[in-house]
Each structure stands twice: as C-alpha cells, then as structure tokens.
C-alpha cells in the first residue's frame, strides 16, 4: 500500500483564513512622514500606539521574478497613508480584497524610536499553507508587539499558490525570492526609521515558519538576518523535490492550456482561471505524487541553486550558527480531527483509529504506532483523542524536536517551547473542541504573541507578557532568558528542554518527551520526508 503523507487526514490543519484589516480610530489617526533614501514615507498613527507605514517593497509582473522598488510608494497605487495593502490572490475571499500587485508590507514603529536609535527589527511572515493569508489577517496588528519589544515590526506579504510557486517556464521558488526581497528592502530603509539592518529577526507561524526554514536553507540569504523564530512549522512535510515540482508544473500548464514559453497565453489568463487550475492541482497532488501531501502540496523546492539543503536527515546537515526559537501548541491537530474529519459532538468509535492512521502512514508505519504505548486507544472512548495526539506529534511537535537536535549538533543554538495556554484564533471560533478549557489549537498562539487578544484572561495576559519579554531579549541577544523570567534551558542533542509556555504540567516546566524520543519518530517511524526520500 502506498502511504499518503498527511493526506486528506490532515488537510484542514491550516484552512483558508479570513481577511480582515487592523482598524484605525479616526480620533487617534494622524499623518506622519519619514525621509528615506527611496523618498518620503507617509504613514499614520495606529490605534494601538505605533506609527504605521504600509509600503510596496517590490514589483513583479505575472510569473516573473520580483525586483525591489527604487522609490517609496504606497500599496496598490493609493495616495492614502492610512490605506492597507490588498492581499495576494487566493480562493474563498472577496475578489475585491486581492490584487496581483500585492508585494507589500506594513511597518509598525514605536513613536519613541528616534532615527539614531538602532533598534532591532522583527519580520513576521504569515501562515496559510502557501496559498492563503496576508499581512492584514486578524490579530496581526504589530503595534503592541513593537512597543513591548522595543523594535520595529514588519509584517510582509509574498505571492501565494500558483502565482508564487507554479511558474509555467519551470522556474521555482519565486515566493521565496519575494520574501528575500522584502528583507533586502528593509535593509535599505530601516536606518531612516531608527532600525538597525544588522539586527533583523525573522518570525512566522505555520507555513510562515516553513518559509523561514526555507530561508535558513538559502546560503545567499544568511547575511540578511541574525535570528529566527518558528511557530508551529509542519516540518514533517519537508521541501518538494525538483521532480515533484516539475510534475505539478506540467499538470498546471496543461490545465491552463498554456505552453511553458507562451507568455502571451499566460498573461491573457484571468485570475479565476489561474486559481481554478491551482485548486485542481492541489486536489490531485497526492494522486500525482504522494510526497506532496494535500495539506500544503505547493511549497518551496530544494532546487540546488537557491535552496541548497533539505535541513533534515535525508541530506548532510550543514554547519549552522544562528539561534532559533521553536514552538508548538498543545493541540496542533485539533482542527483536523474535530472539524474536518469528524465534526460534531458524537464520539468516534475506536475502530476508526487504524484506518485513519493507515490513510496517512501506510500499513507498516501504522503497525508500529499501534504496537507502541504512545497512542493508546480506549475501546469505549473517542478515537479523536489519540488521533489528535498522533497528528500533533507526527506533523509538528516531534519533527520540530528533531530539527532542534540536528541544529544544535551542527553548531547552532535552539530553544524549544510548547504553548499550554492559547487564545482562540478566528479561524477556530466555530470548532467546539478548540473552545474547550485547556485546548490550544493550531494558530491559537498568534494573538498571544502580538498582544491582540480581545479581553484577555489573566492566564492569557501572563503568557503575552512572558512571550513579548522573551521576544524582546531574543531579538537582541539570541537567547530568550532575561532577569525576572523563569529559566529556559537551551536544547541539547539529547534533551530539547521544551519549555511549557503557560500552565506547567511538570515540576521542571519541560514538556514531557513521550513519543518525541529519537528512537521513535524519525527512526522506528519515519517522517514523511524520510519515507518518500525528499
């Protein structure tokens, strides 16, 4: 039997997200202007107290590499400094909210940062399975985070789906190049805002974290940033191989009926035609090549030119030096098990556990899982309980721990954490499981980090204060420890010391190892990137 990696079983861990924009209170709004080498930057005072600047950082025609702008301009040809960028084209959103002219970012600058301050910068890369999301998602207003960390926060956009990852001529990784251009653009303008271009930290969640992992595998991007923070990276996927990418590309070209070199045909396509073909490719991806995985079949490629290493055990691990902060949430797979596969209040019979496992892991890996003690199935219980734990370990938690060990073994430092307190993301608001006490679903850490939780509880406020304090020191020093904070031990090759962020369940405050031992995941049971040798 051919196993489908994280296939339909885990499709909805990162569903399409709702588009929304940070609101601006007319009473507080005021225009601000900063002189930059690219011309005057027009901005406004954000409702949460930082100066906000929306800007186009690069230009690109359809399916061409982006180029960094040579003059400062507001997004989408606007002349209103309070306007925010349209998102990149994607499905399941109002078409009036997106544009191919979407290579923009939003800068949040504390009002007390002077031009000669030389403060660090935090660049946030949004999630959304590489085919959805934007810099204007709910919770991503960076004002409070900028003020709390004493930094400039930049929330960026990059081309999504087929427009960023399926170039008809066979080129690869344009979305990755967009992200690199965003960071290079910041290097040019940060001094004008009081930022230090040598003190850039990348941070992101889900596929945003995967994008950062990609940049860690790009030698030419290494000098652009010092530290990296990866939240909920589905590392089990790995990068695509060039053969798989080529297969997906040929399929897309056939669907749109445009030859690889027929630029006129490609430019004449409507966005609806492009997005329809993209959806078909994504739907058929695991049938074409099981290594794709339906959850995120379009993703960066180890092309050997830009992305030169897989950053996993399938190729030699490179020497590294950058400090990493790696986190997961307690119930990453909750939305999949309790919304996509088995919605509703009724328990799922225990006999469902095995066929669901086999659909993702295949017969052999499932047998090892079922013969272990890590995922016990109560004959009279709800099969979603062990399935949620399995999905969380398989796709997120254990491969992140594996990366931490490899990173440390090859010269870098890593700090690993697990959110045991969350704040329900709008995308999870209709999933009863994600609303239960003690449950922290995928995405439920975002508003905690940004400090944008509406009416936070005492526990949520405490985690926000802790994480923003740890961010503040990490972006300065590469170490999340500071006076007044409980010690957070660095990972070693034998113990990752995964710090519980919120409610502590162990005396040490470390998340129990359980199945994330090196002898089980990645050895007895292979990750998908190992199983499919990508």
Query: What positions carry a catalytic annotation?
Result: 206
Q: CA-to-CA distance for 371 and 366, rounded, in angstroms?
A: 9
Q: Estimate the crossing angle of helix 271-288 against helix 242-256, to 10 degrees.
A: 140
- Measured CA to CA in angstroms, residue 111 lies from 27, 194, 419, 468, 471 at distances of 17, 10, 31, 18, 19
Dihedral (Cα; 280, 284, 286, 288), 10-degree rounding:
-120
Q: Report the run of H or E that residue 50 belongs to, with start and end.
A: strand 50-56
For residue 108, list its beta bridge partners.
52, 153
Rg (CA), the chain: 22
- Measured CA to CA in angstroms, residue 241 lies from 130, 168, 247, 422, 453 at distances of 16, 17, 10, 35, 39
- Measured CA to CA in angstroms, residue 4 lies from 16, 300, 356, 359, 459 at distances of 22, 19, 11, 6, 39
Residues 6 or more apart whose CB falls under 8 angstroms from that of 16 comprise 90, 91, 92, 93, 128, 131, 132
CA 361-399-180 angle, 5° bins: 115
Q: CA-to-CA distance for 527 and 243, rounded, in angstroms?
A: 20
CA 241-307-9 angle, 5° bins: 45
For residue 521, list its beta bridge partners.
525
Under DSSP, the state recorded for 237 is G
CB 287 within 8 A of CB 247: no
CB 433 within 8 A of CB 517: no
- Count of CB atoms situated within 10 Å of the CB of 270: 8
């Amino acid at each position: 039997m051919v196993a489908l990696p994280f296939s339909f079983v885990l499709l909805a861990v990162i569903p399409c997200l709702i588009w929304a924009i940070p609101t601006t209170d007319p009473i507080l709004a005021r225009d601000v202007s900063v002189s930059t080498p690219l011309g005057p930057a027009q901005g406004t005072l954000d409702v949460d107290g930082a100066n906000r600047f929306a800007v186009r950082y690069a230009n690109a025609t359809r399916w061409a590499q982006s180029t960094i702008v040579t003059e400062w301009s507001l997004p989408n040809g606007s002349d209103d400094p309070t306007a925010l960028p349209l998102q990149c084209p994607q499905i399941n959103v109002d078409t009036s909210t997106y544009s191919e002219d979407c290579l923009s970012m939003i800068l949040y600058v504390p009002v007390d940062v002077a031009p000669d301050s030389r403060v660090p910068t935090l660049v946030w890369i949004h999630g959304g399975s590489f085919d959805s999301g934007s810099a204007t998602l709910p919770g991503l207003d960076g004002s409070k985070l900028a003020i709390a960390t004493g930094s400039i926060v930049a929330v960026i956009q990059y081309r999504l789906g087929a427009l960023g990852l399926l170039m008809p001529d066979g080129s690869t990784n344009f979305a990755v190049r967009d992200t690199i251009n965003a960071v290079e653009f910041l290097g040019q303008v940060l001094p004008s805002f009081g930022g230090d271009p040598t003190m850039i930290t990348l941070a992101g969640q889900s596929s945003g974290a995967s994008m950062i992992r990609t940049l860690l595998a790009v030698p030419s991007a290494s000098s652009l940033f010092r530290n990296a923070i990866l939240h909920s990276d589905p590392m089990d996927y790995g990068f695509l191989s060039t053969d798989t990418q080529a297969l997906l590309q040929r399929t897309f070209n056939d669907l749109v009926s445009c030859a690889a070199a027929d630029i006129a045909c490609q430019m004449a396509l409507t966005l609806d035609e492009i997005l329809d073909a993209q959806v078909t490719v994504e739907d058929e991806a695991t049938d074409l090549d099981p290594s794709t995985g339906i959850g995120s079949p379009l993703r960066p490629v180890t092309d050997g030119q830009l992305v030169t290493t897989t950053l996993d055990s399938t190729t030699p691990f490179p020497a590294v030096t950058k400090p990493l902060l790696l986190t997961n949430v307690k119930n990453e797979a909750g939305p999949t098990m309790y919304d996509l596969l088995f919605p509703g209040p009724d328990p799922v019979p225990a006999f469902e556990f095995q066929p669901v496992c086999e659909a993702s892991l295949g017969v052999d890996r499932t047998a090892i899982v079922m013969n272990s003690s890590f995922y016990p199935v109560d004959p009279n219980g709800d099969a979603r309980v062990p399935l949620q734990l399995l999905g969380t370990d398989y796709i997120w938690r254990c491969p992140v721990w594996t990366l931490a060990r490899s990173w440390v073994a090859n010269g870098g430092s890593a700090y690993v954490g697990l959110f045991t307190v969350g704040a329900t993301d709008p995308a999870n608001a209709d999933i009863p499981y994600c609303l239960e006490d003690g449950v922290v679903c995928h995405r439920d850490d975002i508003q905690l980090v940004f400090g944008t939780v509406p009416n936070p509880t005492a526990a949520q406020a405490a985690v926000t204060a802790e994480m923003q304090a740890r961010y503040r020191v990490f972006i300065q020093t590469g170490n999340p420890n500071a006076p007044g904070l409980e010690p957070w031990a660095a990972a070693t090759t034998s113990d990752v010391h995964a710090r519980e962020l919120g409610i502590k369940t162990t005396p040490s405050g470390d998340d129990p190892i359980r199945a994330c031992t090196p002898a089980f995941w990645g050895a007895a049971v292979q990750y998908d990137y190992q199983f499919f040798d990508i």
